Chains A and B, each alone.
Chain A
Amino acid sequence: MTLHTTAESRLSIRPPDHVGLYRRRAKVGDVLVVSLWISSAVAVGLFLVGGGTDRLGSVPDAITSIGIMLGLVGTNFVLAMLILAARVPFIDQAIGHDRAIAVHRALGKPAFLLLLGHGVVLLIGYGLSSGTNLIGEIAPMVAIPDMPLAIVAIVLLGVVVWTSLATVRRRFSYETWHLIHLITYTAVLVSIPHQLSIGSVFSPLSVGRAYWLVLYVLAFGAIFLHRFLQPLVSSIRHNLRVDRMVVEAPGVVSIYLSGRRLRSLRSSGGQFFVWRFWTPGTWWHSHPISLSSVATDTELRITVRDLGEGSRSISSVRPGTRVWFEGPYGIFTDAGRTAEKLAIVVAGIGITPVRALVQDARLRRGEASMLLRASTPDDQYLWGEVEKLAEQKGIAVTTMVGRRSPRGRGWLNQDAADRGVTLLSLFPDLVESDLYLCGPTAWVTLVEAEARATGMPDHQIHAERFDW
């Protein structure tokens, strides 16, 4: 494996001030949190300024007003979720795609409950004011123009949220789940007419309506720009094709992709792309896979193991196959660092982003140390390359081969577990280190739990998973 000159030249550059840079990025995250609060308050404020203050006097009025405000905040949450899922570069760089999606997920259920509550509370409010009950109010409510569409919207959102519940989501393939998730766009769009036509919060030509529509334009604009237009333009512009395949180990293949002006993608070691291989059997699958070495201007490399159906089919694509991509994404990179030192713990095929990260990282000698894990001697994928890079960059490497211990610390092998090895004994400086973790999900979870137990703050633990 040839190592690119960027790796050596970066040795001479002074390593960045990770702690300071992290503080700056964290501020962007804080600003996002504050914006969610303020925008929700503004939504409520629009209602109050538009005469809502006058509509809290009687019980039916107050209930109706609460129902309206629930809808406003719920919709604000949904729009925030769209922006978080849009992979907007500045959000991705500041808090990482993973954390953005984690917040997106965390908002999902509350948003849906707010909107469902909006419907139910309004039914109660309307029912009280017209002297009927909740059930009797259903027919008149549905009869309001645009209400049928709003009901379609909440049902569709319900389906999307239901399929995203952890227990339900496992039953679907990523593609099916993703297709269902795309319904969200329809749900959000068909809910707009009733917001504008029923009630008087967004009356025509009002500042409130203008503001509200701007939010929609921002959310859908971000999705359109970053999830559709930018990937499409980028894929066409860089004209990426499968160049050759190299077998790294039994069942593990490196795919070399050639294209033009690839450096302008500004990908960093440790980042991933979402790939789409244009063959009849694979074009409808998209695969989030990390680069396994730093990009050159004409070549990218990914390394895959035959895991599922999808990975198997891409390891058999022919040279010349056109490849579309979205990305680069993720902050499992040198730029994602937050602390003085670096500890890397990696297992199996999880080595791939680490291989590129180590190549790209600007490190002082002794700043970083690394544990390489493999279940069997056959699973030491790319270890030769990584060890060579580690030597150049002064990274201390520990290797550990053997199945996961059934007793004691399950992420170690039997021998190490019996000897009482811990994360802290392997990495004495752990508390002032960034921990970069990559490997099978169950294994990563064990290491992560031990890291947390040592008192490491969350932001120092980087376990970027590619599972969706």
Chain B
Amino acid sequence: MSARANIAGALSAAVVVAMAWVLGTSTHSAGSTTATSTNTPTAGSSSTSSPSGGGATVSGTFVGTSVSTRYGSVQVKIVVAAGKITNVIPVRLTDQGGRSVQLSNMAAPILRTEVLKAQSAKVKSVSGATYTTDAYLQSLQAAIDKAGI
């Protein structure tokens, strides 16, 4: 109950927070490297029909890589008809916590519309959902690369 106990408490609290900070920064910088390294294509990217000849005549479904973020993994597949992206279907969206589910559900339709319009992964980020956007577009780019369009 004494002032001494409050001082001791405040000091110990500061130590705990500092330790958590150090631990958080070290584990998380490791975490972000894995996020980028999963960029390399993984198993699971497959197409239902193999690309035939030149890019213009490519048709089929192409699954992008799974990109992990701190709010969960993101993976999309694209449907290509005669070299054109006709649909983008999310396989998995950021899903850690109700807030990120809400954000990814908000961002996905916007991104889909933009991508279909631009026919590329070079679209504007959805504000408020940057993690989802970045991962979505990365996975999309991988799918486009695979389709060879």
Which residues does A use to contact B, with CB under 8 Å?
26, 29-31, 33-38, 40-42, 44-46, 48-54, 60, 95, 99, 103, 126, 129-131, 140, 143-147, 194, 197-200, 203, 459
Which residues does B use to contact A, with CB under 8 Å?
1-2, 4-6, 8-10, 12-17, 19-21, 23-25, 27-28, 31-32, 70-71, 96-103, 106, 127-129
Count the A-B residue pairs with Cβ separation under 8 angstroms: how many?
115
Hey, which chain B residues are within 8 Å of A198, CB to CB? 97-99
Q: Are B99 and A130 in contact (CB under 8 A)?
A: no
Select from chain B the residue with minimum beta-carbon distance to A53: B24
5 CB-based A-B contacts, threshold 8 Å: A29-B1, A33-B9, A49-B27, A130-B103, A198-B97
Bound CA span A38–B9, Å = 6
Could you tell me the dominant secondary structure of chain A's interface residues? helix
- From the candidates B2, B9, B21, B98, name the one contacting A48 in the complex (CB within 8 A): B21
Bound CA span A51–B27, Å = 8
- From the candidates A41, A144, A146, name the one contacting B12 in the complex (CB within 8 A): A41
Hey, which chain B residues are within 8 Å of A145, CB to CB? 98, 101
Select from chain A the residue with minimum beta-carbon distance to B129: A130
Bound CA span A145–B97, Å = 9
Hey, which chain A residues are within 8 Å of B70, CB to CB? 51, 54, 200
Hey, which chain B residues are within 8 Å of A146, CB to CB? 98
Q: Are A203 and B96 in contact (CB under 8 A)?
A: yes
Select from chain B the residue with minimum beta-carbon distance to A40: B13
Given contacts A52-B24, A199-B99, whether A38 and B16 have CB atoms under 8 Å apart is: yes
Hey, which chain B residues are within 8 Å of A31, CB to CB? 5
Q: Are B127 and A34 in contact (CB under 8 A)?
A: no
Hey, which chain A residues are within 8 Å of B10, CB to CB? 37
Q: Are A30 and B8 in contact (CB under 8 A)?
A: yes
Hey, which chain A residues are within 8 Å of B13, CB to CB? 37-38, 40-41
Select from chain A the residue with minimum beta-carbon distance to B12: A38
Q: Are A199 and B97 in contact (CB under 8 A)?
A: yes
Hey, which chain A residues are within 8 Å of B4, CB to CB? 30
Bound CA span A438–B100, Å = 58
Given contacts A54-B70, A203-B96, whether A37 and B9 have CB atoms under 8 Å apart is: yes
Hey, which chain A residues are within 8 Å of B101, CB to CB? 145
Q: Are B2 and A50 in contact (CB under 8 A)?
A: no
Bound CA span A34–B5, Å = 6
Hey, which chain A residues are within 8 Å of B98, CB to CB? 144-147, 194, 197-199
Hey, which chain A residues are within 8 Å of B20, CB to CB? 41-42, 44-46, 48-49
Given contacts A30-B4, A33-B9, A95-B1, whether A140 and B24 have CB atoms under 8 Å apart is: no
Bound CA span A130–B99, Å = 12
Q: Are B97 and A53 in contact (CB under 8 A)?
A: no
Chain B: minimal CB distance from A419 (Å): 38
Hey, which chain A residues are within 8 Å of B127, CB to CB? 129-131
Q: Are A45 and B5 in contact (CB under 8 A)?
A: no
Select from chain B the residue with minimum beta-carbon distance to A146: B98
Hey, which chain A residues are within 8 Å of B19, CB to CB? 45
Bound CA span A36–B14, Å = 13
